[in-house]
Copies of this chain bind each other. A is one copy, B any other.
Amino acid sequence: MPMFRVCALGVSIDGFAAGPNQSLENPLGVGGLRLHDWMFPTRAFQRVHGKEGGTTGIDDDFAARSFENVGAWIIGRNMFGPVRGPWPDESWKGWWGNDPPFHTPVFVLTHHARAPIPMEGGTTFHFVTEGIHAAAERASAAANGKDIRVGGGVATLHQFLRAGLIDELHIAISPVLLGSGERLFANIDMLKLGYECAESVATPKATHLMIRKQK
């Protein structure tokens, strides 16, 4: 069965999945990029971004798993860009340049309709205004039997978690303090929602935890 997966979600010691004040300069908020220090140098991450080389080992294994068997993505409006409210024009096409690292259909949750944007490398951005269940259905159809990867931000993740739609989360706790930002586990009771930690592996750069919904 295809799964809905959250992968490579960086979290700080103090529980933030992004820093404060997301902007064009700081897509993950101030300090937020540090949450991915474990991932950037890995071979899997480098390869998805069209580069060769990179580190191998546990961090790379988790990075590789995050890209494996993904047939479609669902992301929130804030992960797609810093633009808020109605689209002022068609110019914003994501943070990632002409060849974004998804290489699948990407369903962007938004309150403001917009025509699909085909990009290079297999990525097409689709805009979904009918909510998470509509996005889940469209992504499932597009994934063609593969898994659906659900990205951030935290508000999007909470909607999916509360709806019971997420099968598996991989979070990576980095040894950094962010102080403020988007708190991953605020106002959400993961135990009541049926999740438990199934796997824990640590490297000097991150503690990797696989959290799964009990059947």
Contacts and interface: CB of A to CB of B under 8 A. Distances in A.
B204 A179 contact: no
A13 B211 contact: yes
Contact of A15 (B180, B185, B195): B185
Contacts of A13: 171, 173, 185, 197, 209, 211
A144 B195 CA distance: 48
A189 B180 contact: yes
B202 A207 contact: yes
**What copy number does this chain have within its complex?**
2
Nearest to A175: B200
B204 A14 contact: no
Interface string A178-215: 11100001100111100111011011100101010000
Contacts of A176: 197
A3 interface: no
Interface residues of A, number: 29
Contact of A207 (B173, B180, B189, B191): B173
A177 interface: yes
A116 to B, nearest CB: 37
A173 B171 CA distance: 13
Contact of A177 (B31, B180, B190): B190
B179 A189 contact: yes
A207 to B, nearest CB: 4
Nearest to A193: B179
6 contacts: A13-B185, A14-B185, A31-B191, A177-B191, A177-B211, A179-B190
Contacts of A31: 191
Contacts of A191: 31, 177-180
